[in-house]
A = this chain, B = another copy of it.
Amino acid sequence: MAERDMDRSVSQTVRAQLTLRDMILSGGLRPGERISELQAVETTGASRTPVRMALVRLEEEGLLEAIPSGGFMVKAFSERDIVDAIEMRGTLEGLAARFAAERGVSVRDLEPLKECLDEIDGLVRQDPISVDAFSAYVALNARFHALLTELSRSPPLIRQIDRASALPFASPSGFVMAQSALPEAHQILLIAQDQHRVVIDAIENREGARAEAIMREHARLAARNLRLALRNKTHIDLLPGLALIKTVAD
């Protein structure tokens, strides 16, 4: 912790925030555990002021919780919290799809989305999907969701969706893991891909209500699959931010 890479281009606050977030998400700090400022100072290398700023930001982000008597602790989530977060995010993305459709987007705007989907098609064609292809899929899926969100052209909505994604299990990766952590994973991936295509079609044809409904269904499917995966304990170790869950055992 002495000779860490002192990148002067970013502030100490940002660096401390990144370091602490990594520690929280990787499970280096247990849920419910109090975070000692001095200890954080040692591990991050920054001084107390930037550490405190980072802690405040992480609290607003939803990863930490303020202790009434002072200081912060790592927030603990229940399994239902996770499912709820995914539905919440999907609901907001549904609104984004509706906005995109109602606002009217040009064919040019939809091109990157379609390219994304074409690339995904190439990946999901193979049935026992390789590990490399899978991580490529995760990245492409995240890209698709981000592009769709942007398409709403609504800064408040985009911001809110970003905030909802701060909870790692509610991020697009969480979507994917939820969909892929079951025996019938491959079929689910195909269904999800179909839904993606239909949403784009709905947006292209200015069908706001339809676009929203599809995205809602997309999210409800992801939530359902995650519920099943949690119950069966299948591959849940793939879920990002797992370290934040209170009791993996029910």
Contacts and interface: CB of A to CB of B under 8 A. Distances in A.
A234 B167 CA distance: 41
A160 interface: yes
A163 to B, nearest CB: 7
B167 A156 contact: yes
B91 A156 contact: no
A224 B185 CA distance: 42
9 contacts: A56-B60, A62-B156, A80-B154, A81-B154, A81-B156, A84-B157, A88-B156, A156-B167, A160-B160
Contacts of A164: 160
Contacts of A49: 49
B155 A81 contact: yes
Question: 3 closest A-B pairs (Cβ-Cβ)?
Answer: A60-B60, A84-B154, A85-B156
Interface string A22-44: 00000000000000000000000
Given A57-B60, A91-B95, A160-B160, 17 more contacts: A53-B56, A56-B57, A62-B156, A62-B159, A80-B154, A81-B155, A81-B156, A84-B154, A84-B156, A88-B92, A88-B156, A88-B160, A91-B91, A91-B94, A156-B167, A160-B163, A163-B163
Interface string A121-133: 0000000000000
Interface residues of A, number: 30
A144 interface: no
Nearest to A11: B70
A88 B56 CA distance: 25
A227 interface: no
A204 interface: no
Contacts of A21: none
Nearest to A70: B11
A52 interface: yes
A77 B84 CA distance: 29
B52 A157 contact: no
Contacts of A60: 56-57, 60-61
Nearest to A99: B84
Interface in A47-103: 49, 52-53, 56-57, 60-62, 77, 80-81, 84-85, 87-88, 91-92, 94-95, 99
Interface in A159-205: 159-160, 163-164, 167, 170
